[in-house]
């Protein structure tokens, strides 16, 4: 594929912006939710207003010899849609959200555009007492989230979010629009459930199976000094693994927690558990083990089991991952226990250059029921899982925080060669980050599907160093 040169624009309902045009830099920066905008510059950006625009943009890129990348919502930490030269197809205006009620034996479904956010989907479903395992951050759009597999709220019970994808509508490299299911174009359907930013097409819509809204959502937490990480994880991990699948438990390691009446600000570890239960009594009973810590005298803060909602959970996530900040992120699936892995991160967290940085480590973040992992490129790849986030706000601190993130990940993966989750992997770090986000057979099958559906390599593959 050649470099971009100025040619006539396709007929669009949306807009086309060339590099050098007024508004180009704003459009380029808007592609990434992260305040860090990578120094990569598409030759032209198409902001699609319709599926018709998507088809015309794909045809235009193919006819002009332009490589093509796709942005559905912009939450990818590495800014994978931003590539030099070529055409960037921005789907952020495709925000359809339509509910279809249950009809006889057929359960209710939702048809959503790729730019619909988790927060918007929750708002549409809750009045109908329906739910979906949306992403933990409210502003995460469903497009990239579902394409990557999706580790969402209550995924330990409901499975990876892509398990509830019943159909995807795809514009292919030759400009066709195809509806993909288990029975129709099953290879593209399989790839669309986990391939992430390397998917060889443009998904313009998803049909989603929905769940009954939990009768009770309840959360509890307990917080300790970070120095007690080994003791806290040794106590809490077996409890978390033994609880019903509708209880989601996570360790959160913070570079600096707030002061309390008894202790000054300092690094912390929290155990946060949320039950998505059939009754308040069931939820409260499931969370009770976390209220009976044998070394409770070390606790510096805590919240008893308290009713909450998806909207409130999203508000809490917004406070942890605030907008208008600069981010770096990387993750690891590993065979070791949470005690082993998180203890390795105590010293890096305690010396982080930003007090806002943190590590999130959900215990069993996704159901491992084979029925909920079938027919998808995504798979959990280890006994423990964690994501390390560098969070800061001053551009002058970019080198320090970027370096800290990679040093922290080296500490937790000292031999290298760890496995990753494509949605939050540091794709520009050393090593084959994309390839190590898949089982070997899945990686080979993804390559075969791309060769079949995109033989001329129109679509950019995975971002790398």
pLDDT tens string, the chain, 465 residues long: the values are: 444 444 567 889 999 999 999 999 999 999 999 999 999 999 999 999 999 999 999 999 999 999 999 998 778 899 999 999 999 999 999 999 999 988 888 889 999 999 999 999 999 999 999 999 999 999 999 999 999 999 999 999 999 999 999 999 999 999 999 999 999 999 999 999 999 999 999 999 999 999 999 999 999 999 999 999 999 999 999 999 999 999 999 999 999 998 888 888 999 999 999 999 999 999 999 999 999 999 999 999 999 999 999 999 999 999 999 988 999 999 999 999 999 999 999 999 999 999 999 999 999 999 999 999 999 999 999 999 999 999 999 999 999 999 999 999 999 999 888 999 999 999 999 789 999 999 999 999 999 999 999 999 999 999 988
Q: In what order do the strands lie in the sheet with 165-171?
A: 97-100, 109-112, 202-209, 165-171, 177-180
Instruction: Please answer whether residues 201 and 446 qualify as being in contact, where contact means their C-beta atoms are separated by less than 8 angstroms.
Output: no
What global pTM score does this model have? 0.95
Domain at 15-90, CATH from 3.20.20.70, 2.40.110.10, 3.30.43.10, 3.40.50.80: 3.30.43.10
Provide the CB-side half-sphere exposure for 284 (13 A, CA): 6
- Measured CA to CA, the distance from residue 244 to residue 285 in angstroms comes to 11
What is the architecture of the domain spanning 97-213? 2-Layer Sandwich (3.30)
pLDDT (0 to 100) of residue 213: 98
Backbone angles phi, psi at 409, to 5 degrees: -70, -30
Interacting residues of 396 by C-beta distance below 8 A, sequence separation 6+: none
- Measured CA to CA, the distance from residue 226 to residue 150 in angstroms comes to 29
Torsion over CA: 276, 282, 286, 289 (sign): positive
Positions of CATH 3.30.43.10 in the chain: 15-90
What is the architecture of the domain spanning 216-437? 3-Layer(aba) Sandwich (3.40)
> Which residues share a beta bridge with 69?
88
Q: Which one, of 244, 295, 253, lies nearest residue 274 by Cα?
A: 244
pLDDT (0 to 100) of residue 464: 87
Interacting residues of 1 by C-beta distance below 8 A, sequence separation 6+: 65, 66, 67, 86, 457, 458
pLDDT (0 to 100) of residue 173: 98
Positions of CATH 3.30.465.10 in the chain: 97-213
Positions of CATH 3.40.462.20 in the chain: 216-437
């Amino acid at each position: 594929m050649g470099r971009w040169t100025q040619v006539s624009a396709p007929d669009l309902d949306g807009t086309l912006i060339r590099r050098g045009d007024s508004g180009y830099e704003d459009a380029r920066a808007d592609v990434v939710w992260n305040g860090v905008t990578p120094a990569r510059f598409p030759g032209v950006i198409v902001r699609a207003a319709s599926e018709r625009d998507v088809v015309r943009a794909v045809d235009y890129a193919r006819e002009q010899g332009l490589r093509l990348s796709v942005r559905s919502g912009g939450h990818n930490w590495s800014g994978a849609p931003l590539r030099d030269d070529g055409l960037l197809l921005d789907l952020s205006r495709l925000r359809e959200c339509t509910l279809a009620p249950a009809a006889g034996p057929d359960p209710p479904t939702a048809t959503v555009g790729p730019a619909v956010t988790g927060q918007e989907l929750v708002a549409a479903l809750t009045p109908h007492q329906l739910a979906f395992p949306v992403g933990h951050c409210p502003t995460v759009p469903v497009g990239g989230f579902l394409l990557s597999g999706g580790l969402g709220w209550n995924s330990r019970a409901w499975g990876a979010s892509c398990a509830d994808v019943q159909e995807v509508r795809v514009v292919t490299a030759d400009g066709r629009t195809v509806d993909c299911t288990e029975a129709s174009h099953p290879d593209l359907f399989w790839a669309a459930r986990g391939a992430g930013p390397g998917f060889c097409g443009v998904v313009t819509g998803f049909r989603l199976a929905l769940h009954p809204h939990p009768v009770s959502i309840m959360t509890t937490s307990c917080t300790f000094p970070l120095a007690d990480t080994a003791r806290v994880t040794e106590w809490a991990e077996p409890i978390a693994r033994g609880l019903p699948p509708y209880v989601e438990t996570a360790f959160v390691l913070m570079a600096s927690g707030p002061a309390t009446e008894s202790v000054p600000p300092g690094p912390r570890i929290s155990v946060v558990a949320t039950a998505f239960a059939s009754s308040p009594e069931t939820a409260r009973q499931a969370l009770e083990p976390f209220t009976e810590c044998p070394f409770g005298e070390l606790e510096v803060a805590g919240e008893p089991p308290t009713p909450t909602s998806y909207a409130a959970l999203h508000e809490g996530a917004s406070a942890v991952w605030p907008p208008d900040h600069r981010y770096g992120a990387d993750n690891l699936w590993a065979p070791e226990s949470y005690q082993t892995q998180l203890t390795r991160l105590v010293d890096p967290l305690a010396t982080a250059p930003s007090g806002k940085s943190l590590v999130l480590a959900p215990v069993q973040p996704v159901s491992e029921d084979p029925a909920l992992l079938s027919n998808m490129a995504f798979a959990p790849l280890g006994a423990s899982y964690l994501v390390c986030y560098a969070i800061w706000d001053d551009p002058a601190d970019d080198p320090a925080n970027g370096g800290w993130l990679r040093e922290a990940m080296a500490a937790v993966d000292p031999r290298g060669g760890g496995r990753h989750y494509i949605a939050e992997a540091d794709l520009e770090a050393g090593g084959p980050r994309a390839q190590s986000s898949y089982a070997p057979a899945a990686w080979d099958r993804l390559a075969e599907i791309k060769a079949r559906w995109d033989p001329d390599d129109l679509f950019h593959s995975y971002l790398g160093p």
